[in-house]
Amino acid sequence: MTGGGASDQGNGAGPAAPQAGLDPSPAGAVFISYASKDASAADRIAGALRAAGIDVWFDQSELRGGDAWDRQIKKQIHDCALFIPVISEHTDARKEGYFRREWRLAADRTQDMADDASFLIPVVIDNTPDATARVPDKFREVQWTRLPDGVTPAAFTERLLRLLSPDVHVAPNSARMARRVRSDADAGSEALGNNPAALRRLQPALLLIAACVAFALVYFLISRFVLSKHPAETGRVSSPVAQPTSPPQSTIPEKSIAVLPFVDMSEKHDQEYFSDGLSEELIDMLAKVPDLRVPARTSSFYFKGKPTQVAEIAKALNVANVLEGSVRRSGSAVRITAHLVRTDSGYDVWSQSYDRDMKDIFQVQDEIAAAVVRALKATLLASTAPSDRTTNVDAYPLLLHGRYLIARQTNADMHEAAKVLQRAVKLDPAYAPAWAEMSYAYYQLAAYFQDVDEQRDYAQARIAVSKALKLDPENVLAHGVAARLKLQLEHDWEGAAAEIDAARRADPKFTEPPEFLYAAGCTSGPCYEQYIREVSQEIDHDPLNADALYDRGNMRFYAGELDLSELDIRRVVEVSPQRNAGYYELARILIARKKFTEALAAARAEDNAVYRRVAMALSYQALGRRADAEAELHELVANHSEDSPEDIAQVYMALGDNASALNCLERDYARRMAGILWVASDPLFKPLFREPRFNEMIKKIGYGKLKEGG
């Protein structure tokens, strides 16, 4: 089916699809076919594609079988440019269902119309095995994509945009990459021994990896574009994301390297967090080499899963070399293969494979870092290796898994990260990095993810940060979390400033959180300019860091630099479309720029339910649709009055209800929530400065006691 019914039926209509006589699907539309129990996941996919400007046919209730259904669905599948069958345990369990008719129609199209299967884009949303899934044979001739629960990364939408482009080219370095995949696969077989049964189990996975890489390379586009159009009356929204742009590049330093995320080539493909974590550890180690330029994790990881040429990566990150590789784990055995590639030629400068036990993983990291530094003729300092490594073989992968989940910045992942890190410190109670990461996860849950019990989360964050700093007084992350907790929960300005100073002593590149400027009473002038300069230096080093771009865009918004603020936040949602509050912030900026229709489109693309409703309410009010704004406010008050009072206050302010807004802010203050810290700097709340209750509250909080610059 498709959205919400009890039986499996077809899907295919776009938003607000008409009844049986609706017009044919527009050229270029994507048809999503799914079972009723997968409606939520399919809806996430459809939303992500629409946010990228792609027309989507996605029937949620209107078409339900019969002759009209047959005619309409046949027409839509005949006309669509791409067909996405959503595969899961639910589709596997049903022998029949309307979605299976759609699948047969799509498979038949590849024969009846002399099409190849390139318009088929199978998507698996759970752990259903590729080899045994009940699908038409034609589906097995193309690359499959796994989007757990329908969470859709930018790489997938970009791939579809490329497939919808009229120009398709083969990447020049495809032969090199294909040889590397085969080489790593052969080497991995040796690492697992000569056990025939093990090799038989591994073979399908290796063939699938090779097929995926080959397919991706074939569809790599030299020229890319983003569909742009105004929202139509049908309800389709155009992409609020601008065309990707590369910042102007300076001369590329010879001693520069980007560490790309290593590929998980384990048999079950369940070690992505470990391969990502290894890459991140290498980035941190190489970044300590004084004469070596190393882009940070967020920029290097932007290219994960994308069929991007080495030359393109070099241009985007301004580096002369790239380190890439693969990881294969089987029990306690691990095989790591690393390649150092010269970006201007695409040739290997150095490559090596390591077969080790997990207890030797840190030795392998040291050896790889040392080999890279030697190859680049840089100087490796003795202090490059981290000093806070664990001796527990099982705790280290849990730390990597926790970091992996935190980086995904979703509510569910943040909860799971806290649980994973709890397991890590239980295995090694003296593991300072795990305590620090756990404190950050709990703080994020309490302050920014509308958790059901933020006071519990704050208490857990305090315990964890205290443990981390006791074990490692120079842990930068722990000092940053401690500063936020002192500022937010205790309004201890001096204590917060001391934590910021400690973080800067441990890492001179540390940039203080923007909350500290807002709490200092920064509403204009040098404090904004200073922060923008500092965070801009961070972005120069890490140009695809969505968090840094968000902070600078937010600061520019408060400083009144709306055009530059919009550029930054558009870059945020381009780099990280599912980042918490990204589209919400874009909507606020567009409202300030009087681009109200675009603001509503951006608001609808926001993943976080609270931020989406707030942004939609603000957009509706700006468009003069007060009834719609009040409807969104009603839902917010009914469901989120306790966990998001400051967010609801924004809507009251837009509706001109200052008294209700003040009630929300007082509740935010009483519960020691994060919103109150930056209210005085937010232009939306300027009318409250005439309210005695507001001035009394910010006086009580102590705005301005924290000196600018911390």
- Per-residue pLDDT tens for 68-101? 666 778 888 888 889 999 999 888 887 777 788 8
Task: Indicate whether 152 and 212 sit together in one domain.
Answer: no
Query: pLDDT (tens digit, 9 = 90+) per residue, 626-639?
Result: 999 999 999 999 99
Q: What is the mean pLDDT of residues 39-44?
A: 86
Is pLDDT above 50 for 388?
Answer: yes
Question: What pLDDT shows up at residue 521?
Answer: 60
Q: List the one residue out of 284, 287, 161 whose CA is nearest residue 228.
A: 161
Q: Which residues contact 450 (CB under 8 A, 6 or more apart)?
A: 411, 608, 610, 640, 643, 644
Residue 413, SS3 per DSSP: helix
N-terminal to C-terminal alpha carbon distance within the chain: 57
Q: Would you state the structure tokens that stand for residue 218, as one six-digit string?
A: 């074939």
Amino acid at 655: L
Is pLDDT above 80 for 65?
Answer: no
Q: Please, is 184 exposed, middle or buried when counting C-beta atoms within 10 Å of its C-beta (0-12, 13-18, 19+)?
A: buried
Which of 130-144, 209-223, 386-400, 515-529 reaches the highest mean pLDDT? 130-144
Question: What pLDDT shows up at residue 550?
Answer: 92
Question: What pLDDT shows up at residue 272?
Answer: 81
User: Taking all residues of the chain, what is their mean pLDDT, rounded to a whole number?
Assistant: 75
Strands 56-57 and 263-264: unpaired
Is pLDDT above 90 for 642?
Answer: no
Under the banding of pLDDT at 50, 70 and 90, the label for residue 53 is confident
The backbone region for 594, taken as left when phi is positive above 0, alpha when psi lies in -120 to 50, beta otherwise, is left
pTM of the model: 0.54
Question: What pLDDT shows up at residue 314?
Answer: 78
Q: What is the mean pLDDT of residues 423-445?
A: 92
Task: Indicate whether 59 and 206 sit together in one domain.
Answer: no
Is pLDDT above 70 for 20?
Answer: no
End position of a domain, from candidates 359, 378, 397: 378
Is pLDDT above 90 for 466?
Answer: yes
End position of a domain, from candidates 378, 399, 426: 378
Under the banding of pLDDT at 50, 70 and 90, the label for residue 529 is confident
Under the banding of pLDDT at 50, 70 and 90, the label for residue 413 is confident
Is pLDDT above 60 for 48?
Answer: yes
606 or 367, higher pLDDT: 606
Strands 82-87 and 257-259: unpaired
- The lowest-confidence range among 191-195, 281-285, 298-302 is 191-195
Q: List the one residue out of 296, 368, 268, 289 whose CA is nearest residue 325.
A: 368
Q: Would you state the structure tokens that stand for residue 681, as one six-digit string?
A: 């700097």
Is pLDDT above 50 for 686?
Answer: yes
Task: Indicate whether 121 and 197 sit together in one domain.
Answer: no
Question: What pLDDT shows up at residue 267?
Answer: 74
Q: What is the mean pLDDT of residues 409-420?
A: 86
Yes or no: say if 122 and 145 are a contact pair by the CB < 8 Å rule. Answer: yes
What is the phi/psi pair of residue 83, to 5°? -120, 120
Task: Indicate whether 157 and 211 sit together in one domain.
Answer: no
End position of a domain, from candidates 331, 350, 378: 378
Task: Indicate whether 176 and 323 sit together in one domain.
Answer: yes
Residue 61 lies in a domain: yes
Question: What pLDDT shows up at residue 518?
Answer: 65
Q: What is the CATH number of the domain that holds 208?
A: 3.40.50.10070
Question: What pLDDT shows up at residue 472?
Answer: 92
Residue 413 lies in a domain: no
Question: What pLDDT shows up at residue 473?
Answer: 93
Q: Would you state the structure tokens that stand for residue 307, as one six-digit string?
A: 């069929």
Is pLDDT above 50 for 194?
Answer: no
Question: What pLDDT shows up at residue 469?
Answer: 95
Question: What pLDDT shows up at residue 76?
Answer: 84
Under the banding of pLDDT at 50, 70 and 90, the label for residue 583 is very high
Cα dist. 417→408, 423, 435, 437, 445 in Å? 10, 10, 12, 9, 10
Question: What pLDDT shows up at residue 451?
Answer: 63
Which of 5-9, 105-109, 186-190 reaches the highest mean pLDDT? 105-109
Is pLDDT above 60 for 115?
Answer: no
Task: Indicate whether 311 and 357 sit together in one domain.
Answer: yes
Question: What pLDDT shows up at residue 137?
Answer: 83
Strands 263-264 and 30-33: unpaired
Q: Which residues contact 159 (CB under 8 A, 6 or more apart)?
A: 216, 219, 306, 307
In this prediction, what percent of the chain has a pLDDT beyond 70?
Answer: 74
Under the banding of pLDDT at 50, 70 and 90, the label for residue 391 is confident
Q: What is the mean pLDDT of residues 664-675?
A: 77
For residues 486-522, one letter each, b for 16 or more C-beta atoms within 10 angstroms of the residue's C-beta and e for the rest, the string is bbbbebbbeebbbbbebbbebeeebbbbbbbbbbbbb
Which of 249-253, 446-450, 551-555 reaches the highest mean pLDDT? 551-555
Residue 629 lies in a domain: no
Residue 119 lies in a domain: yes
Under the banding of pLDDT at 50, 70 and 90, the label for residue 576 is confident
Task: Indicate whether 182 and 303 sit together in one domain.
Answer: yes
Which of 52-56, 159-163, 475-479 reaches the highest mean pLDDT? 475-479
Local structure of residue 244 (DSSP, 8 states)? P
Q: Would you state the structure tokens that stand for residue 196, as one six-digit string?
A: 């025939």
Task: Give dist(CA 599, CA 649) in Å, integer.
Answer: 19
Task: Indicate whether 183 and 129 sit together in one domain.
Answer: no
Residue 445, SS3 per DSSP: helix
Q: What is the mean pLDDT of residues 572-577?
A: 86
Q: List the one residue out of 159, 166, 188 whose CA is nearest residue 262.
A: 188
Residue 151 lies in a domain: yes
Q: Please, is 377 exposed, middle or buried when counting C-beta atoms within 10 Å of its C-beta (0-12, 13-18, 19+)?
A: exposed
378 or 435, higher pLDDT: 435
- The lowest-confidence range among 24-38, 101-115, 305-319, 512-526 is 512-526
Q: What is the CATH number of the domain that holds 65?
A: 3.40.50.10140
Question: What pLDDT shows up at residue 257?
Answer: 86
Q: Would you state the structure tokens that stand for residue 312, as one six-digit string?
A: 């393109």
Helix axes 174-191, 196-218, angle to 10 degrees: 170
Question: What pLDDT shows up at residue 661?
Answer: 93
Task: Indicate whether 196 and 220 sit together in one domain.
Answer: yes
Q: Would you state the structure tokens that stand for residue 73, as one six-digit string?
A: 């669905």
Task: Indicate whether 100 and 158 sit together in one domain.
Answer: yes
Residue 224, domain extent:
171-229+247-378
Query: pLDDT (tens digit, 9 = 90+) per residue, 292-339?
Result: 888 887 787 777 777 667 777 778 888 888 888 888 887 778 888 888
Task: Indicate whether 200 and 336 sit together in one domain.
Answer: yes
Question: What pLDDT shows up at residue 11?
Answer: 42
Residue 239 lies in a domain: no
Residue 693 lies in a domain: no
Q: State the total domains in the chain.
A: 2
Task: Indicate whether 185 and 294 sit together in one domain.
Answer: yes
Question: What pLDDT shows up at residue 61?
Answer: 44
Which of 154-163, 215-224, 648-657 reaches the highest mean pLDDT? 648-657
Is pLDDT above 60 for 705?
Answer: no
HEC string of 44-87 equals HHHHHHHHCCCCEECCCCCCCCHHHHHHHHHHHHHHCCEEEEEE
- The lowest-confidence range among 223-237, 283-297, 462-476, 591-605 is 223-237
Is pLDDT above 80 for 662?
Answer: yes
Question: What pLDDT shows up at residue 220?
Answer: 38
Residue 505 lies in a domain: no
